[in-house]
Amino acid sequence: MTKKLKVIVTGALGKMGRETLKAVEEDNELILIGAVDVKSNGESVSELTGLAGVDINLEKDLEKILEREKPDVMVDFTNPQAVFNNARITLQKGVACVIGTTGLNEIELKQLDRIARENQTGAAVIPNFAIGAVLMMKFAREAAVYFPDVEIIELHHDQKMDAPSGTAIKTAEMINQTRVSRPPKSIREFEKIPGSRGGDMEQVRIHSVRLPGFIAHQEVIFGGVGQSLKIRHDSIDRVGFMPGVIMVIKKMPQIQGLVYGMDNLM
């Protein structure tokens, strides 16, 4: 019988954290052994998830639970201010990390890669766990060969703290892997309201929308002579992220160092 992977979830009180608790607990190849949230008051995981018989209460101290439970994988859905320190502490203890929190910069990613390799473990930084979103990014990279003029619109709920989204940044990076280099346009644009043309990432404009009622959505718009192409993905329920989360968790024992993007694991 294959040994079950022991998993803890950090940021367990958040919406993604709660869904991850349920998904891990319901998977036959994983075992949920801990849940962490700095806002915790000792809540029962059974009450949070609606799953009976889960004898785990939330805790506040990540380092303490790592030392006591010795998990195989830590899943982080916290916030951009906490994620780097959480991952650093976890990797230094030889525990693999699955990071769904966006906001890590290039320097932090390189540091996490180094720490993971020094401790012979892995870290997966995943901007988007939706399999459809990963396919959207792959299709956009293919289309950019033929349509070099492109802009991205990403739409998220009004509680999302960072902009643009990690998915939009990753999409722009993948587009720039395949499209030919382009000289700057000779047209001098004038923004009547600063920022109205969005952010500019190597000549890919990214526009961020934050409104109640949305979860996670993105549209990649290509323009060509006499035609246009739109590639769109919509996440309409957070449960749609869970197959990707579980897939990445199960791949962690084979990973050393840092992997960025679920496209590199599919």
* 103 plus 136 within the same structural domain: no
* 182 plus 231 within the same structural domain: yes
- pLDDT tens across the length of the chain (266 residues): 578 999 999 999 998 999 999 999 999 999 999 999 999 888 888 888 888 878 889 999 999 999 999 999 999 999 989 999 999 999 999 999 999 988 889 999 999 999 999 999 999 999 889 999 999 999 999 999 999 999 999 999 998 988 999 899 999 999 999 998 777 666 777 888 998 999 999 899 999 999 999 999 999 999 999 999 999 999 999 899 999 999 999 999 999 999 999 989 98
* 34 plus 117 within the same structural domain: yes
CATH of the domain at 159: 3.30.360.10
* 118 plus 18 within the same structural domain: yes
Rounded to a whole number of angstroms, the distance between the first and last alpha carbons of the chain is 25
* 172 plus 249 within the same structural domain: no
Catalytic hit among 6, 22, 156, 251 = 156
Distance (Å, whole) CA 206 – CA 232:
14
Q: Which residues contact 8 (CB under 8 A, 6 or more apart)?
A: 32, 33, 34, 35, 36, 65, 66, 69, 71, 73, 74, 75
Domains of the chain: total: 2
Catalytic hit among 4, 138, 160, 250 = 160
> How much is the pTM?
0.83
> Containing domain of residue 37, as a range?
5-125+239-264
Active-site annotation holds for 217: no
* 120 plus 249 within the same structural domain: yes
* 157 plus 175 within the same structural domain: yes
Element (H, E) at 107: helix 106-118
The token pair at 180 is 């030919």
* 120 plus 243 within the same structural domain: yes
* 244 plus 151 within the same structural domain: no
CATH of the domain at 11: 3.40.50.720
* 15 plus 120 within the same structural domain: yes
- Side-chain-facing half-sphere of 241: CA atoms under 13 Å: 23
Distance (Å, whole) CA 36 – CA 39:
9
| 14-134-265 Cα angle (round to 5) | 90
| 262-214-259 Cα angle (round to 5) | 15
* 17 plus 116 within the same structural domain: yes
Active-site annotation holds for 160: yes
